[in-house]
Amino acid sequence: MSETVLRILIEELTTLRIVCKRCESSIDVVILKIEPGSKFLCPSCGGDLRRAIADPDDYSRLAEAIRNIRSIKSRDEAQIKSVEFVVPQKGEGDR
């Protein structure tokens, strides 16, 4: 069976979109600029999209993980050309 996949390079993971549960508006956050304690406020209702998450929270851990994976490639001993996320794409026949 053939499969279509979307390959996303780790370098292309730059932005996190967070959708507000209350009003469904969203904010786009630059992943590498995520710092512990910074506020993510909903642009429509002002809801705190980071509340109730311990610090350092999962957003910070995600940013750190991406930084760490990117840094692996730059090490001289690394035999890695690229790191990709593979996302299977649903075709017409899968719906």
Binding site residues, Zn ion, CB under 5 A: 20, 22-23, 25, 42, 44-45, 47
Closer to Zn ion at the Cβ: 19 or 72?
19
Closer to Zn ion at the Cβ: 45 or 78?
45
Judging by beta carbons within 10 Å of its beta carbon (0-12, 13-18, 19+), is residue 16 exposed, middle or buried?
middle
Closer to Zn ion at the Cβ: 8 or 45?
45
Q: Where are the beta strands (DSSP E) in the chain?
A: 4-9, 15-19, 26-30, 84-89
What's the closest the beta carbon of residue 11 comes to Zn ion, in angstroms?
30
